[in-house]
Amino acid sequence: MIQTLTEFTEQHRDVIYTLLRRYFALNQQLLLQSDLRGELVPLQEQVKLDEDASKRLSEFVAQLHEGVMVSPWAYFTTRPAVGQFDYLRIHQDNLIPERVTPAEFLMFKEQLAHNPRPASSLEIDFGPFSREFPKLKETRSIGQGLLFLNRQLASGMFTQPQLGAQKLLHFLGVHAVEGQQMMFLSTPKDTATATTTLRTAIHKLESMDDATPWAEFAGDFAKLGFAPGWGNNAARAAETMNLLMDILEAPSPASLESLLARIPMISRILIVSPHGYFGQANVLGLPDTGGQVVYILDQVRALEKEMRERLLEQGVKG
């Protein structure tokens, strides 16, 4: 990106100069992606470029994600690929693009709220948490994260069935919600033991009436090693146990998604609502945020209701 922009600037210095001048003329220190792209068409009408130069400029502006304009510097965040960000700055006089680190970009941006900058600041590095975590790389995959993870899990279980099954059973054996043990009372010894126990439980469930509540056979199933969470009645519990049996025998993304969707996991929800760029302080209750607050409260109530219904559906007292 830097090399390409540097070459373009050397060939079309007047274009980059005009682009920065238009950005500064907006009199906004923080520019959103829409602001950055909004100046492209007027610029192309103002400065006549050949087809190749116009295409290269459009590609550069399309990658701009955010801009921080504090004369004489313009700092930009670019997004060349999914989950990848680069940071650069350009001086409005010498017009030499320079790469900067994320920390340098954030320090420059913090000047908008803290000038001078505080003597110390909190920095958290989340890199180690996602170092070996599978990541989406294609733009068309955005919004398909759950399907992607299910495919990754199913693929791992298919290539290493014993290891994958052990990890899944370990999760089901230690999983708890608000201190209440879910699924298994303890981790099954091995896949064969889990399969035998599941087969016994399914046989018992199939001999019951489908609507038999979990509470009526919870005691007997506890002796087999089962905790609440499989379902609120015999039919639902049998379906969930059969899903797990299918996964232990031949894992697939669809079966994994169905099983994980049934397991009670969420007990509390935290929703953080940024007030946006129209105000950074003393904005709570103003017309712009009133609608946000009401909307968030409605969403929280709806989520709480859905959570209670799902817990009851799985035989867990919410």
**Rounded to 5 degrees, what are φ and ψ at 209?**
-70, 140
Cβ atoms within 10 Å, residue 283: 14
| 20 in any annotated domain | yes
Q: Say whether both 213 and 287 belong to one domain.
A: no
Residue with more model confidence, 213 or 285: 213
Supply angle C-alpha 134, 190, 160, rounded to 5.
Answer: 35
- Do residue 258 and residue 296 come from a single domain? no
| 267 in Cβ contact with 177 (< 8 Å) | yes
Residue 128 lies in a domain: no
Nearest to 254 by CA among 239, 243, 265: 243
Residue 133 in domain: no
- 87 pLDDT above the threshold of 90: yes
Locus of tokens 């009401």: 294
Residues 107 and 43 in one domain: yes
Q: Based on the domain organization, do 172 and 279 belong to the same domain?
A: no
Is 170 found in the same domain as 76?
Answer: no
**Which residues on neighbouring strands pair with residue 67, listed in sequence order?**
31, 76
**How would DSSP label each residue in 241-276?**
HHHHHHHHHS--HHHHHHHHHHS-------------
| pLDDT score at 77 | 92
Is the predicted pLDDT of residue 269 greater than 80, yes or no? no
Average pLDDT value over all residues in the chain = 81
Domain assignment of residue 127, yes or no = no
Residues 148, 256 share a domain:
yes
* Length in residues, the chain: 318
Last residue of a domain, one of 96, 115, 134: 115
Last residue of a domain, one of 100, 115, 130: 115
Greater pLDDT, 122 or 66: 66
Compute the distance between CA of residue 195 and CA of residue 259 in angstroms, rounded to an integer: 16
Same domain, 252 and 149: yes
**In sequence order, what are the beta bridge partners of 98?**
89
**Do both 290 and 219 map to the same domain?**
no
The verdict on residue 206 lying in a domain is yes
pLDDT higher for 158 or 258? Answer: 258
In the chain, the largest separation of any two C-alpha atoms, in whole Å, equals: 82
The domain that holds 13 is classified in CATH as 3.10.450.330
What's the Rg (C-alpha) of the chain?
28
pTM, two decimals, is 0.54
Residue 121 covered by a domain: no
Q: Which whole number is the average pLDDT over 158-178?
A: 85
Q: Residue 281: pLDDT above 70?
A: no
Residues β-bridged to residue 68 = 30, 75
Sheet holding 30-31, edge to edge: 30-31, 64-70, 73-81, 84-91, 98-99
**Taking CA 295 as the corner, what is the angle to CA 294 and CA 299, rounded to the nearest 5 degrees?**
120
Looking at the domain assignment, is residue 40 inside a domain?
A: yes
Query: Has residue 136 been placed in a domain?
Result: no
Number of domains in the chain: 3
Q: How far apart are CA 215 and CA 195, in angstroms?
A: 23
Asked if pLDDT for residue 290 goes beyond 50, the answer is no
Domain that holds residue 172: 143-265
Do 173 and 152 fall within a single domain?
yes
Q: Which of 49-58, 110-119, 278-287 has the lowest mean pLDDT?
A: 278-287
Q: What is the CATH number of the domain that holds 258?
A: 1.20.120.1230
3-class secondary structure, 76? strand
CA distance 110 to 103: 10
